[in-house]
Amino acid sequence: MKRKKKIQRRIAGTAVILLIAANILLIFFDHQNRVAEKSYVKEWSRSFTADISEYVETKGVFSSADRQEVYFDKEKGSFSGFLVQKGDKVEKGEELYEYEVKNYEAERRELESEITLLEEEIRAIEDYLRDVRFYNIEEPDTDIEDESYDYPAPSTYVETEFEKEEQTAEKEMELTRKEAELAMFEDRLNQLEQGGETIAVTSTFEGTVSDVAETLKNPVLTIQSSELLIQGELSESDRADVTEGMSILAKTPEDDKIAEGKVSLLHEFPEDSGLHEESSYGFEAAITTDTDELLAGYHTNLDIITASSPETTAVFEKTLVTESPPFVWIMNEEGSLEKRPVTTGLSEGEKTEITEGVQPDEWLALKNKGTLTAGTPFVSPLDAENLDLKRLFTGDSETMFTYGLLGLINR
C-alpha cells in the first residue's frame, strides 16, 4: 500500500515537472507568437454608486447663538434685589430684578417717551415688511428677438430673490425684539401708574441666566440664548474655499453627538495676523438639527462641505492610473482587458468620482505596472484559501496522467 502511494506521488511529480518544462520550451521557441500573450491581474474591484463630497476640516466650539445684557440705572432709584439667579431659565416677560423709583414724574415721562419711540419704530418696520412682501421681482424676458438686447444674468434674479428673503427675515427678527421691548416698558408704566413705588424689570429675551453681578456693576445680568451656533477659525487657504451657505457636519470628539448646519458668517478680517505667520479667519455656523444633547462649550470636529456629487459613479483610487489623461483597466464584454480613458471629478478619501468612461458595477483591475496589456486575456492568482492540496492526489494514477497529458496538448 505504501509502495503504491509512492509510485502515485512520483508519477504526479513527474507530470508537473514535464508540464512546466513544456511550457518553458513552447514560449522560448515561439518565434511566430502563436502562444497568446496574457495579463496578470492580481486583484479586482468594481465601480459603484456613492455620494462624494470634498470638504475642509477644522475645529469649532458650540456657543450661545445670542445674548442679552441687562442694565440698571442708579439714577432712577435704589436697587431692591434680584428675582433670578445664575443658571435659571427665563421666558420673555419674566421678572428679573426690582428697584424703588426715585422720581415718579421723571420715571413716568421717560417710560412714555420710550413707548412712543418704540411704537414709531414698530410701525416703520411693519411698513417696510409690507413693501418688501409686495415688491415683485421681474423674471428675465427671454422672448425678446432683438439680438443686441443684453439679457439679465439668471444668477442676478436668483440673488435678488435671496436678498429679499434675507432682509425680510432680519426685519421680522428686529420686529420681534422691538415688540418685546414695548411690552416691557408698558408693563413698567402700568406698575408705576398703579401706585407701586417698586418696579420689576422684565426680560425681553428667552434663555438662561449666565451671569449675575452682585456688586451691581453693569451689566447686572447676562442672559444667553438656549439656541446654539458653532464658532471656529479657518486658515488662509481654507478661507478661500469656504463661502457663506455651505453645509457643515459637526461631531463631538467622542463622535457620540452630531449636528448639521450651514456657514452663516465669515469674517473678512483675520483674527491674528503677522508678517511671518499665517492669518486665521473667524466664522460662525448656524445649526439646523436638534441640539438637546449639546451644550455651549462643547468642542467639535467640523467638516465644511465645499463641493458635493450625490449618487455619482465612483471607483477606488487604487484602480485609477493618474496619468494624463487618467485611465482604468477594465474587463470588457469579450473578457479581455481594455485600457479606458476616464474623466474624474471629486475625490473623498479612497473614492474618486468618474464623470465619463465608466458605468456602475463594472469590473476593474487594480493598477499593476508592467503586467497589464490592452486587448489581452488575463489570468488571476489561485485562491489558495479554498484549495485543498490533499485532493490533488486522491485520484488514481491513470486519471492524473490523462489530465496531465491533456494539459500539455492544449498548451
**pLDDT tens digits, 304-344:** 999 999 999 999 999 998 888 899 988 888 878 888 999 99
> 293 and 234, same structural domain?
yes
Condensed to tens digits (0 to 9), the pLDDT of residues 246-286 reads 999 998 877 677 889 999 999 998 877 777 788 899 999 99
Q: Answer with the residue of higher pLDDT: 411 or 57.
A: 57
Residues 230 and 206 in one domain: no
Q: Give domain status of residue 410, yes or no.
A: no
Identify which of 227, 200, 306 has the alpha carbon closest to the alpha carbon of residue 68: 227
- 213-243 pLDDT, tens digit per residue, is 999 999 999 999 888 899 999 999 999 999 9
Distance of alpha carbon 238 from alpha carbon 234, whole angstroms: 6
Nearest to 202 by CA among 186, 219, 226, 178: 186
- The stretch 289-311 carries a mean pLDDT of 89
Same structural domain, 216 and 235? no
Q: Is the pTM of this model over 0.85?
A: no
User: Do residues 219 and 213 lie in contact, with contact meaning Cβ atoms separated by under 8 Å?
Assistant: yes
Average pLDDT score over the chain: 81
User: Is residue 320 in a domain?
Assistant: yes
Q: Are both 274 and 174 inside the same structural domain? A: no
- More confident of the two residues 286 and 137: 286
Q: Residue 376: which CATH number?
A: 2.40.420.20
Residue 212 and residue 355 in one domain: no
- pLDDT value at position 336? 83
Same domain, 118 and 202: yes
Q: How many domains does the chain have?
A: 3
Q: Is residue 180 part of a domain?
A: yes
116 lies in some domain = yes
Q: 201 with 129, same domain?
A: yes
**What percent of the chain stands above pLDDT 90?**
35
Task: Examine the domain organization and report whether 300 and 379 are in the same domain.
Answer: no
**SS3 (DSSP) at 337:** strand
State which residues form the domain around 326.
35-52+310-398
pLDDT confidence of residue 110: 85
Could you report the per-residue pLDDT of 139-191, keeping only the tens digit for each? 555 555 555 555 455 556 556 766 777 788 888 888 888 888 888 888 888 88
274: alpha, beta or left, given left = phi > 0 and alpha = psi -120 to 50?
Answer: beta
User: Are 164 and 276 members of one domain?
Assistant: no
264 and 387, same domain (yes or no):
no
Both 72 and 216 in a single domain? yes
Please report the pLDDT score of residue 5 as a whole number.
Answer: 61
Tell me if 243 is assigned to some domain: yes
